[in-house]
Amino acid sequence: MPVVQHWTVLLPELALVGGAIFLLLIDAAKPSQRGPHLAFITLVAVVTSGVLAFFQWSHPTTSALGGMVVGDKFGVFARFIILGAGFLATLTAPAYLHRRGLDRAEFYALLLLSTAGMTLLAVSSDLVMVFITIELLSLALYVMAGFERGRLESQEASMKYFLLGAFASAFLLYGIAFVFGGTGTTNLLRIRAETSLGGVADFRLVGLAVALLAVGLGFKAAMVPFHMWTPDAYQGAPTPVTAFMAGGTKAAAFAALLRVLVLSVPELRWDWQGPLAALTVLTVVFASIIAVSQTDVKRMLAYSSISHAGFVAIAVVAASRSGIAAALVYLLVYTAMTIGAFGCVMLFRDGDGERVHLAKYSGLGVRRPAAAALFAFFLFSLAGIPPTGGFWAKWYVFFAAIRSHHAWLAIVAVGASVIAAFFYVRVAVVMFMQEPPEGDEMELDSSVGLKIALALCLLVVVAVGVAPGFFLHLAEKALPFGG
Amino acid sequence: MTLFIVFGALALGAAVAMVFQRNAVHAALLLVLNLLAVAVLFLSLGAEFLFASQIIVYAGAIVVLFLFVIMLLGVDRSEVVLEHTPFQRRQIALGAVSALVLIGAAAPVLGSKTLTAKLPAIPKTFGSAQSIGTVLFQTYLLPFELTGLLLLVATIGILMLAKKKPR
Complex confidence, ipTM? 0.90
Confirm whether B44 is domain-assigned: yes
Q: Which residues, given as ranges, of chain A have pLDDT below 70?
A: 1-5, 33, 482-483
Contacts of B154 in chain A (CB under 8 A): 139
Closest B-chain CA to A134: B150
Mean pLDDT of B115-135: 80
Nearest to A262 by CA among A394, A400, A136: A400
CA distance B163 to chain A (A): 11
Enclosing domain of residue B67: 1-77
Query: Is residue B73 domain-shared with residue B145, that is, in the same domain?
Result: no
pLDDT at B75: 65
Distance of alpha carbon A9 from alpha carbon A247, whole angstroms: 23
CA distance A84 to chain B (A): 22
CB pairs under 8 A between A and B: 98
Please report how many Cα atoms fall inside a 13 Å half-sphere around the Cα of residue A97, on the Cβ side. Answer: 25
Buried b (16+ CB within 10 A) or exposed e, A86-111: bbbbbbbbbbbbebeebbbbbbbbbb
Closest B-chain CA to A200: B118
CA distance A132 to chain B (A): 7
Contacts of A135 in chain B (CB under 8 A): 150
Percent of chain A with pLDDT over 70: 98
Query: Is residue B136 domain-shared with residue B71, that is, in the same domain?
Result: no
Identify the helix (H) or strand (E) that includes residue A350: strand A349-350
Total number of domains constituting chain B: 2
Query: Is residue B2 domain-shared with residue B69, that is, in the same domain?
Result: yes
Is residue B5 very low, low, confident or very high in pLDDT (cuts 50, 70, 90)? very high
Confirm whether B88 is domain-assigned: no
pLDDT at A482: 59
Confirm whether B151 is domain-assigned: yes
CA distance B56 to chain A (A): 22
Q: How buried is residue A22: exposed, middle or buried, by Cβ count under 10 Å (0-12/13-18/19+)?
A: middle
Per DSSP, the residues of A81-118 read: HHHHHHHHHHHHHHHHHHHTT---HHHHHHHHHHHHHH
pLDDT at A91: 94
pLDDT at A50: 95
Confirm whether B10 is domain-assigned: yes
Nearest to A317 by CA among A402, A423, A236, A380: A402
Percent of chain B with pLDDT over 70: 91
Confirm whether B4 is domain-assigned: yes
Cα–Cα distances (Å) from B45 to A226, B1, B4, B34, B60, in that order, read 35, 11, 9, 17, 21
Q: Over the stretch B21-50, which tens digit does the pLDDT of each residue have? A: 878 888 889 999 999 999 999 998 888 889
CATH number at residue B4: 1.20.120.1200
- Amino acid letter, A72: D
Beta bridge partners of A124: A69
Q: Which residue has the higher pLDDT, A250 or B164?
A: A250
**A240 with A97: CB under 8 angstroms?**
yes
Query: Is residue B65 domain-shared with residue B136, that is, in the same domain?
Result: no
Measure CA A379 to chain center: 17
Confirm whether B165 is domain-assigned: yes
Query: Is residue B64 domain-shared with residue B1, that is, in the same domain?
Result: yes
**Residues B161, A184: C-beta atoms closer than 8 Å:** no
Distance of alpha carbon A45 from alpha carbon A412, whole angstroms: 42
Closest B-chain CA to A107: B160
Nearest to A41 by CA among A88, A108, A102, A86: A108
pLDDT at A412: 94
**A48 with A15: CB under 8 angstroms?**
yes
Q: How buried is residue A146: exposed, middle or buried, by Cβ count under 10 Å (0-12/13-18/19+)?
A: buried
Confirm whether B59 is domain-assigned: yes
**Residues B153, A184: C-beta atoms closer than 8 Å:** no
pLDDT at A173: 95
Residue after which a domain boundary falls, among B62, B77, B92:
B77
For chain B, state the CA radius of gyration.
21
Confirm whether B67 is domain-assigned: yes
Query: Is residue B1 domain-shared with residue B73, that is, in the same domain?
Result: yes
